Amino acid sequence: MGPYRQGIAERRKESWTSPDTATDSGGMNLKNARVLLVGGTSGIGLGVATAVAERGGVPIVASRNQASVDRALGTLPDGARGLTVDLTDPAALAGFAAQVGPIEHLVFTAGEELQMYPLADITAEAIGDLFGTRFAGQLLSVRAFAPRITAGGSITLTSGTAADKPDLGVLPAAVCGAVSAMTRALAVELAPLRVNAVAPGPIDTPLWSALAPEGRDALYAQYAQQLPAGRMGAVTDTALAYTYLMEQEFGTGQVLTVDGGGTLV
């Protein structure tokens, strides 16, 4: 058994908790918990960082851009940390993990807007760009940080509803499906470390800012008419899903869909 698997095996023996000793609330408390949020400087990630801080946790936001980190720290309470990282550089990622140190939870929300390409227009570059961050970035982050997550901690990744309802085209469906499958596989390999994912639907984030205001308003109105929930999703809706998966203690290998019922219609 290699040192990586040996470390996982030791954690398996040390961190198992009997149902008799589980918390009365049925979950963990995020107070003082160190939560690394890769992609936590805007949109859903910043919403999760804010929710962690509101629960007494210590958000550590990471992005490839220092200006984004600085802006995020300007909105978060004192005690929050911010660092830059290049997810495409394994050596830099390893150094980043050593810089961060032990954490209780890893949350990954980094990724550009999912683009829809007709099959005939898909290029090798488009495939590499999408899978480079949304799949490889998540997997390499897990590899770097899993040994540093304390007993009872968790990993929460980000998939998407395109895995179940591929109306955005083959690339978003493929990468979201890959992340969902990876989540289940990692939950088995890294047990008892809990590994889950959130699959957000249409959420009002800065990713939509490229649209003209009138076009964005029309799109939001269309979603409000189509979705059973009757409205576009808010960042706070999705942030609650991430904090739930961190705080609960029994669910692992699950993909929690937060889409206003969009996959049903």
Please give the tally of structural domains in the chain.
Answer: 1
Is 246 contained in some domain? yes
In-domain check, residue 212: no
Whether residue 84 is contained in a domain is answered as yes
Calculate mean pLDDT across residues 162-166.
Answer: 91
Q: Tell me the per-residue pLDDT of 214-258, one tens digit each, with 9 for 90 and over.
A: 888 888 899 889 999 999 999 999 999 999 999 999 999 999 999
Q: Would residue 82 count as lying in a domain?
A: yes
pLDDT at 18 over 50: no
Question: Is 217 within the bounds of a domain?
Answer: no
Point out the residues that are catalytic: 159
pLDDT, one tens digit per residue, over 92-138 is 999 999 999 999 999 999 987 667 788 999 999 999 998 998 999 99
Residue 88: what pLDDT?
Answer: 85
Q: Is residue 224 part of a domain?
A: no
265 is a domain residue: no
> Residue 124 is part of a domain; what is its CATH number?
3.40.50.720
pTM exceeds 0.85 for this model: yes
DSSP characters for the chain?
--HHHHHHHHHHHHH---GGGS-TTSB---TT-EEEEETTTSHHHHHHHHHHHHTT-EEEEEES-HHHHHHHHHHSPTT-EEEE--TT-HHHHHHHHHHH--EEEEEE---PPPPP--GGG--HHHHHHHHIIIIIIHHHHHHHHGGGEEEEEEEEEE--GGGTS-TT-HHHHHHHHHHHHHHHHHHHHTTTSEEEEEEE-SB-SGGGGGS-HHHHHHHHHHHHHHSTTSS-B-HHHHHHHHHHHHHBSS--S-EEEESTTGGG-
Please report whether residue 36 resides in a domain.
Answer: yes
What is the extent of the structural domain holding 43? 3-203+234-259
